[in-house]
Amino acid sequence: MGTVGARRCLEWLLGFYFLSHIPITLFLDLQGVFPSELYPVEFRNLLTWYSKEFKDPLLQDPPAWFKSFLFCELVFQLPFFPFATYAFFKGYCKWIRTPAIIYSVHTVTTLIPILFTFLFEEFSNASGFKGQGPETFHERLTLISIYAPYLLIPLILLLFMLRSPYYKHEDKRKKK
């Protein structure tokens, strides 16, 4: 399949990732930021089902630190998603390199405390999570597996932008 074919496959994967991220952010994640009355009952029920089924304490009753991540998702990431979707589906868009690096570093940085919370937090009634959260190691791993693509794909994106010869910055200085 050659390097051009592999690059296009990865660009399509990234295009689908950013395209899918738009409705997830708008209809699920941002319910932690906006008043619930703004959302149709179907979206509220979907979030309730998800957070109870997978015991996601961050979306059941978001703590302040997680709401700050959701606010950053609203202000910085959501506006970027349509541009990234376009750039990666179109392909050959070198202008996406710097914004993609910024996005990927920001996302990886926010996912580290989220995943550590799922792994190591004591979700007892005494904690700030009101007893909501995964109780067994299997439930913790299930929840981590839901969030893992939002760590892994930005890491792949970062490496792709930094290592791909196509996306590397070329100096266009005049020769004297």
- Give pLDDT tens digits along the chain (176 positions): 567 788 999 999 999 999 999 999 999 999 999 999 999 999 999 999 999 999 999 999 899 999 999 999 999 999 999 999 999 999 989 999 999 999 999 999 999 999 999 999 888 765 666 668 898 999 999 999 999 999 999 999 999 999 998 887 665 655 55
Phi, psi dihedral angles at 130 (to 5 degrees) = 55, 35
> Rounded to the nearest 5 degrees, what angle is found at the Cα of 113, between the Cα atoms of 111 and 117?
115
pLDDT at 3: 78
Torsion of CA 29, 32, 33, 35, to 10 degrees: 120
Cα separation values, 144 from 20, 102, 147, Å: 19, 23, 5
pLDDT of 131: 61
pLDDT at residue number 127: 62
d(C-alpha 144, C-alpha 135), whole Å? 13
pLDDT for position 169: 65
pLDDT at 45: 97
Give the pLDDT score at 4. 78
Task: Kindly state the tokens that stand for 54.
Answer: 């997978």
Q: Which two tokens stand for residue 138?
A: 């299997």
Q: How much is the pLDDT for 162? A: 95
Alpha carbon separation from 91 to 11, 23, 24, 83, 113 (Å, rounded): 7, 22, 24, 12, 33
How many residues appear in the chain? 176
Give the per-residue pLDDT at 40: 97
**Residue (of 74, 57, 162) closest to 118 by Cα position:** 57
